[in-house]
Amino acid sequence: MSLLCAACLSYEDIQVRQEQPDPKRYWPIIVGAEPATSTREVLLDKKCTGYRFRLTRLINSLDGSVLENTNDLYFRWFLDYSASNPNPRSSIRSFIIDATLYFPDDPVGAYHKVDVLVSDLGFKEEGATNVNWDPLDEANWDHASWYIRIVDDPAPVNDGNCIGGFATMGTK
């Protein structure tokens, strides 16, 4: 009889073996950003030397708490990410675009894309299909993106987020 129960699991064994979230891990969800993630298009003046994209509020979807301390999270901001352009432009909660630096020869009407990824474990820096974009195995992550259209207009509505020019948000 004792041989039959030798492989039986006790209640305590079952509790230990159940997959429980690691209390030191997060599942970051972007819930607040400037400009708002619902903004489909940011009109960026060719003369703008400092337009800031930033994450203003992150929550942990495991328990709904606000992630105040983001030192344990990894950020990657990209401008026109591709296999030939895999390097992040920023690895903190914000990214500032200088149109005179990044787009000096772009014609009016040119489009660009800004992406941000946030992960609790980090990103694959080599050997991945999408270097610096693919989260590490087992990582929890979220993503947001915006489109930028380059404009040259002397009198737009200024959203107060641009130095040396203007930027405004559209819903087009």
Q: Alpha carbon of 24 to those of 19, 20, 21, 73, 139: distances in Å? A: 14, 12, 8, 11, 13
The predicted-structure confidence for 86-141, as pLDDT tens digits, reads as follows 989 999 999 999 998 999 999 999 999 999 999 999 999 887 788 889 999 999 99
Q: Per the domain annotation, does 42 fall within a domain?
A: yes
Q: Per the domain annotation, does 39 fall within a domain?
A: yes
Q: Spell 88-121 as b/e; 16+ CB within 10 A means b.
A: bbbeebebebebeeebeebeeeeebebbbbbbbb
Q: Per the domain annotation, does 7 fall within a domain?
A: no
Q: Per the domain annotation, does 124 fall within a domain?
A: yes
Q: Is the pLDDT of residue 144 over 90?
A: yes
Q: Per the domain annotation, does 13 fall within a domain?
A: no
CATH number at residue 84: 2.60.40
Q: Per the domain annotation, does 125 fall within a domain?
A: yes
The predicted-structure confidence for 51-86, as pLDDT tens digits, reads as follows 889 999 999 988 888 988 788 899 999 999 998 889
Total domain count for the chain?
1
Per-residue confidence (pLDDT) for residue 37, from 0 to 100: 81
Q: Per the domain annotation, does 100 fall within a domain?
A: yes
Q: Per the domain annotation, does 9 fall within a domain?
A: no
Global pTM value: 0.78
Alpha carbons 146 and 39: distance in angstroms, whole number: 7
Alpha carbons 141 and 61: distance in angstroms, whole number: 10
Range of the domain at 160: 26-170
